[in-house]
Amino acid sequence: MRPPLDLSLYLVTDTRLCGDRGVAATVAAAVRGGVSAVQLRDPDADARTLFCLGRAIQAELAGTGVPLIVNDRLDVALWLDADGVHLGQRDVSPETARRLLGPHAYVGLSVSRPEQLAHVPDAVDHLGVGPVFPQSTKPDADAPLGLDGLALIVRASPLPCVAIGGIGASEAAAAVKSGAAGIAVVSAVCGQPDPEAAARSLVHTLRKEVPA
């Protein structure tokens, strides 16, 4: 059996926000600050570029125990032998991902409305719930759920949920108080001048809400 994925501070990469530092170096700094999982996301990259980026991230994650999850692109996840994949509602089915990646991979699924919980298959390990707040990194995202919407889905979900969408230092505590197993962040780390310090600050906030 695969161990549960530590969703406490889940970093989703953004190539543009990482800027001149680069994605791999940003990930390395964020992991030093306490990031527990990394999702490779770049919807504008072709498969080869995404694969090379994934390899660079894997080199930084080697020996840390922090898993690499690939957003949407099951093909790239397979080429990388990544730790898992995160899928949207319109991506390849979780059942297909599970069959191809095997029993030890993590399969996440995005949920933005309570009614989608009725269609979550057994192949899924955890849910990404959001956007919780207004955000700018995913222009095609659904309308924000708000904290009440997040809490409603978390209570009804049979699976652990990670809150995503517009979550920074000032929103982190409220998200976990709503019952989420953790927070997924983009600009709160990738867009900061010191990703390590930003991640460490978020970890400190989360630990005050959910003591170890």
CB neighbours (10 Å) of residue 24? 19
**Domains defined along the chain, listed by start:** 9-209 (3.20.20.70)
174/92 Cα distance (integer angstroms)? 32
* Count of positions (residues) in the chain: 212
5, 195 contact by CB (below 8 A): no
Query: pTM of whole model > 0.85?
Result: yes
Question: What SS3 state is found at 120?
Answer: coil
Q: Tens of pLDDT along 36-63?
A: 999 999 999 999 999 999 999 999 999 9
Q: What pLDDT is recorded for position 35?
A: 98
Q: How far is CA 84 from the centre of its chain?
A: 11
Q: For residue 32, give both structure tokens.
A: 């030093």
Per residue in 71-95, is it b (16+ CB within 10 Å) or e — as a string? bbbbebbebbebbbbbbbeebeebe
In degrees and rounded to multiples of 5, residue 87 shows phi and psi of: -115, 145
> pLDDT (tens digit, 9 = 90+) per residue, 127-146?
999 999 976 666 666 788 99
**Looking at the predicted structure, is the pLDDT value of residue 209 above 80?**
no
Could you give the CA distance from residue 18 to residue 34 in angstroms, rounded to a whole number?
18
**Which residues is 87 bridged to in the sheet?**
109
Work out the average pLDDT over 184-191: 96
Rounded Cα–Cα distance for residues 22 and 185 (Å): 17
